[in-house]
Structures are given as C-alpha cells and as structure tokens.
Amino acid sequence: MALRGVLRLGEVRIRVLDMEAACRHYGDHMGLLKVMTDADGMTYFKAWDEHDHHCVVLRKADSAGLDYFAFKVYDDKTLTALEGKIKEFGLPVERIAAGVYAKSGRRLQFVLPSGHTMQLYAEKEQIGNTLGTINPGVMPDEGVIRGFRINRIDHLLLGGVNIDENARLFREVFEFDLTERLIDADSKASLALFVSCSTKPHDVAFVLQPNPNKFHHVSFLLESVSDLVHAADMIGKHRIPVEVNTNRHGITRGATIYFFDPSGNRNEVFTGGYVHYPDTPTLTWDTSALGAAAFSQDNTPRESFFTVLT
C-alpha cells in the first residue's frame, strides 16, 4: 500500500488539572519520554519508537479534556491541496504559521461537525528513537524503553454530535476508509464509527454523544500481549484507576486496557487488531451484540465506557 496523503495521528494536546501529577503519570509511570517544557509551562512527550519530536502535549487548565488533535500529512503540497478540499466541504480553515506550535511547520486548523478542533501539518522536527538510520539494530539505548513499554501513539476516540458528517469528511476529503461501525439494532442510527488512513483497524473513531467536543480516550500501541500484561502489572503497582482490565475488543479485535490519568482523562494501551486494506469491507455491529462488540472476552459492556468523557 502506497501510503500518502494523511499519514497518521501525530499529536494530541490534553488538558490536565495538576501538571506534576500528570507528568508523573505519562512520564514516570506510562514511560513516555519528556522532551521539553515550553515558556507557557506546557510539557511535551514522545514514545520511544517515534522519530518526531513529540506526540503528547500537556496543558494545565481548570477542566480536563482535549484541546485539539493533529494528523501529519505526507508533504506541504498535500497540505495545500487539503486546504481547498476542506473549504469545499464547508468548513472554515485557519492558517497557522510555522513555529507557532513547537518544533512544527505551518498548520491548518478547523472544527469538525462534532465540535472537535483538528489540525493538519506536514513538518515537525525529528529527533529519532536512538537507533539511528544506518545499521540501526532492534533495541534502543538502555533505559529508553520503560514504564508500560509504549511504542507510539496509536489512535483517538472522540465523542460528539454529527458523527455521520465527521465520517463523511474523513472519507471524502481525507480519503480514510470506514472500517467498522456500531449501529442501533432498531433505528439503524450510527452510534460509533471507525475510520482508517492506514492498514490499522482505525486511526480515529467517533462515538455519538449528546454534547459536542468530548474526549473519550487516546490510545498507545504496545508491542505484544505480553507487554499488555506488563502494563497491567505496572497499573496495579502504581494504583492507577482502571476501568477495564486486560480484555479484547470485538470491534478492531485489539487487546486492551482502559485506565484514567490523575485528571480523569481516559487512556488506553492497545495491541493487535487485524490488518485493514482498502478493499476490506466495512464491518457492522449492532446493539444486539453490544457486549461482544465492546469487550469480547466477557461480553459485558461497562456503563462508564459509554457515558464518562472529558
């Protein structure tokens, strides 16, 4: 698959109530690498196997949640082409100059039909993963892999209104595929939609909520199920609040743990899932199989999973 256009989720900025506690959670416990604190007090992290400067930004605020999320695109020409397509779809686009966001080139910013702020960018400083690019080997320097052994940021789940319009935007403008969907068994209304720009089961997903601009979770990729068990042990050791312990999704087939940061933002560690190709048909689940769709090992939906968002 020649992956061009929109490449991947590259950055999220999360609002936290206590910066010290948040840095301990994302850095010391989860094992993300702190790379910078800026003049405004925002703290930047990356996962070990990411080359770009950062993927998570923490901002101290009075309420938890997500400020914005950003996808990286292939090059500046792609960014220019997408600006016109977003405007044709009917969304106003704000141009943000290079350097306004740390270590980053110019960006486009717009608000999704669901109320979420999204950005696109083509350039971000790369600082590597300690392996280099000539005879790189397979293991980074000692002490780089720590905490939960997170490889990279993986995907987002966002809650809001107008999720069908969100999916239409991602399919028609950004050329994502609709990989899976959850619908109401009676009305057939969309309840959750999963879209991918890669061979992953999803790069972002949207769940229907009565209010716009809600944050369900950000997910981080682990190497294996054994690393998932290791993460579960670390979560227990540090008394991190757990919502769903080691389980597996029916949707995406990924193995998962859900837990909360000290501000109440939901996190996920994730591994596995099937390989998606452009000719893979969309998989549809309905609410008659809600338990299996959400958590296939115990077939038990958790009420909080569908109602607690920041």
Q: How far apart are CA 196 and CA 178, in angstroms?
A: 7
Closest by alpha carbon to 54, among 68, 33, 76, 26? Answer: 33
Q: What does the chain look like in DSSP terms, one character per residue?
A: ----SEEEEEEEEEEES-HHHHHIIIIIIT-PEEEEE-TTS-EEEE-TT--BS-SEEEEE-SS-EEEEEEEEES-HHHHHHHHHHHHHHT---EEE-TTSSTTB--EEEEE-TTS-EEEEES-B-B---SS-SSS--SS-STTSS-TT-EEEEEEEEEEES-HHHHHHHHHHTS--EEEEEEE-TTT--EEEEEEESSSSS-SEEEEE-SSSSEEEEEEEEES-HHHHHHHHHHHHHTT--EEEEEEE-SSS-EEEEEEE-TTS-EEEEEEE-PPP-TTSPPEEEEGGGHHHHH-TTTT---HHHHH---
Catalytic residue of the set 53, 116, 202, 216: 202
Does the annotation mark 258 as catalytic? yes
**C-alpha dihedral sign at 76, 10, 54, 130:** negative
Among this protein's residues, is 123 annotated catalytic? no
Active site residue 217: yes
Please tell me which residue in 29, 116, 217, 276 is annotated as part of the active site. 217
230 flagged as catalytic: no
User: Choosing from 155, 180, 216, 276, which is the catalytic residue?
Assistant: 155
Active-site position among 29, 54, 249, 276: 249
Q: Is 276 a catalytic residue?
A: no
Catalytic residues: 155, 202, 217, 249, 258, 268
